[in-house]
Chains A and B, each alone.
Chain A
């Protein structure tokens, strides 16, 4: 028990902080923070598998998150029949052409000897393939995007429940990671970081500008939810009864029947949004719990020991007959798939997909701050990092405002310096993140909850 004391303390403090937000600000805000903490925790677990278990730097988290989001759109939105009629066939043909290009390149790579001719063949295949793609897809894309551009203008999805997208998102992200891993995993650590960062930017560029796929920067809104809608809840009798029971103490204090009714409907409105968020929290907690159990099991399995061996000494592991390249690729795919799940979860929670909002600062570097601060190599640490950093990220502005008011309390309210500081409150969160990262790296380089391996 004692060895878990600091883990338990850290989590208790975190939960208390969120409860404090609930008491002082509102429960809806506290639950929103909790939900995003859980999503961040999933992302950090993905990054932690790659960095903590295997020592791979993946700065492409943004790309996988966006692909997870894309999966949510492609799974849940009902198909746009008109668009499929005008351009669906050509788009499928394009998919076929891409597969054909890939396979013919692979064929050439395998069956020809290393020579100039081989390179020429490959370039020829790719160039002709791209030209054919362009010719086939051009008119199709144009006609798809012309179908009610204000509302649809894309192919739509499968119309399945959005919860399936969490699995599909994992497959999407894992697939991309497989391709990237094949290309880039041989690179040195910092090259890999830069390469993955840039590749994720390419992914975002494609999602942003291929309107036929997911409307691009025009956003997809109103995705179906896996949980009830507030409006429907508010008219359900069982829910009103539940709220009445929950708030019976407060309601009994009110005497007039009409006022009581008004107070009750107010409680119902508040309660419905809290209830919906609680439903999400429940779903997310299930995901986090499953992932935590699986990753913990993996960490202490022979496979986990092998991964640590590879991380700590690649040559030695290689000499022991472990296939370092294959294992690196495997863990790269697994970690990215987990990030993909988080991306799909996030879009599910928001109910909208906005490719323009994917920025490396928020989706790549912040997640890395979480991993480093929480403790790389330790799943509990990674989750805690996700919680703590996201909490700070949201609550940084109120904290900064409080500090500014405290330190400038001697100045008049109209003082230009004070006003300037107060106006730039939102940017203090970057300062806090940076300072947090620098301090942790300097004084506790293994994170708040460092990696601890018990040899049994």
Chain B
């Protein structure tokens, strides 16, 4: 019985949160990796682009709420996502047209494009803050929990409760759906294949008649979808604050590089690697060992490998280690 309790404890505090956080990172990491693989630059505006998409979704959510439209148990924001995606794609295409395309046509070095993306980051950040303000906003409505700790305890008669938030399930399910569609698209459709070809060898792809403009446009569209959904899911699960979104750029980059930048599947797994290691290394295992070990061996310290303050530092250290020993990432990068 104690053993089951210990497992539930880990599930509740480590596994479920890490899985949902990992999904949110994974969407962002695929976004980074797609841009890197096809447009060939590190996009420092990632976090702020996600916050822009989320902001639009929040505005639509408010509008729907004021009209009295809701999805019942599901959050209204889900209804707002498609509209937000349309705006986001428009925004990205405009930015590409105004800013990035110039350097792409001039074939500037990737560093130049990364610098330009910093300019985009500043502007996007300003736009978001001017429109919606820098404050913390919660826009979740509908049923908060699928399974409450008390219900679970009553159902199973265990000491430990298992809480599953509806946002966590939503995050995981939506991520899986989106990612499967994306992989199907990249591997099976003609457009997807042309994108992969373009990423692999640009000149060869051009020779075989692939239209670069179309590839770039579709990349931005997919990026817009990923950014909006990733941002909205993160905001639903935690809350929306422009500054946190900017900061999230860092673990997202870590996930993309750990998975091998330019490799979407690697980025997808990288998100989970980062999330799980962050939470595994900063969780206090005292209670877990109290269940598992006999009473005489009970630990008296918290048994925490690292204090939770170092949550971010964990993912960055993993990144540094990966860069040192396998600069191309765990799953060889640079082939879409």
On A, residues with C-beta under 8 Å from B are: 57, 183-184, 186-187, 189-191, 193-195, 197-199, 201-202, 205-206, 208-209, 361, 365, 368-369, 372, 421, 423-424, 427-431, 433-435, 437-438, 441-442, 445
Contacts and interface: CB of A to CB of B under 8 A. Distances in A.
B16 to A, nearest CB: 25
Which among A187, A209, A430 has the greatest number of chain B C-beta atoms within 10 A?
A430
B123 A435 contact: yes
Interface stretch (B136-144, B209-217, B246-254): B246-254
A191 B129 contact: no
Contacts of B327: 186-187, 191
B63 to A, nearest CB: 16
Contacts of A437: 115-116, 118-119, 122
19 contacts: A184-B320, A194-B257, A198-B319, A199-B320, A201-B250, A201-B316, A205-B310, A368-B115, A369-B122, A421-B130, A427-B126, A427-B130, A427-B134, A430-B122, A431-B122, A434-B122, A437-B119, A438-B99, A438-B120
B91 interface: no
B297 interface: no
Contacts of B254: 198
Nearest to A424: B130
Contacts of B313: 201-202, 205-206
Given A195-B323, A427-B134, A434-B120, A209 B126 contact: no
Contact of B119 (A193, A199, A441): A441
Given A189-B111, A190-B41, A421-B130, A442 B125 contact: no
Which among B109, B112, B319 has the greatest number of chain A C-beta atoms within 10 A?
B319
Contacts of A365: 44, 118, 121-122
B295 interface: no
Given A202-B312, A429-B126, A438-B116, 20 more contacts: A57-B111, A183-B324, A186-B327, A187-B327, A193-B114, A194-B253, A194-B319, A202-B313, A205-B310, A209-B307, A361-B246, A365-B121, A430-B123, A430-B125, A431-B122, A431-B123, A434-B124, A441-B112, A441-B119, A442-B99
B323 A191 contact: yes
B133 A434 contact: no
Interface residues of B, number: 43
Contacts of A430: 122-123, 125-126, 129
Nearest to B113: A190
A424 B120 contact: no
Interface string B15-46: 00000000000000000000000000110100
A193 B257 CA distance: 12
Contacts, number: 121
A441 B119 CA distance: 9
A199 B316 contact: yes
Given A193-B114, A198-B253, A205-B310, A184 B119 contact: no
A361 B316 CA distance: 18
A93 to B, nearest CB: 20
Interface in B194-233: none
B145 interface: no
A77 B313 CA distance: 28
B116 A190 contact: no
Contact of A195 (B134, B307, B312, B319): B319
A445 B134 CA distance: 32
Given A191-B323, A198-B320, A208 B309 contact: yes
Nearest to B95: A438
A205 B310 CA distance: 6
B219 to A, nearest CB: 18
A438 B327 CA distance: 31
Contacts of A429: 126
B317 A202 contact: yes
A197 B114 CA distance: 13
A420 B323 CA distance: 45
B129 A190 contact: no
Contact of B115 (A183, A195, A435, A441): A441
B312 A201 contact: yes
Contact of A438 (B114, B123, B307): B123
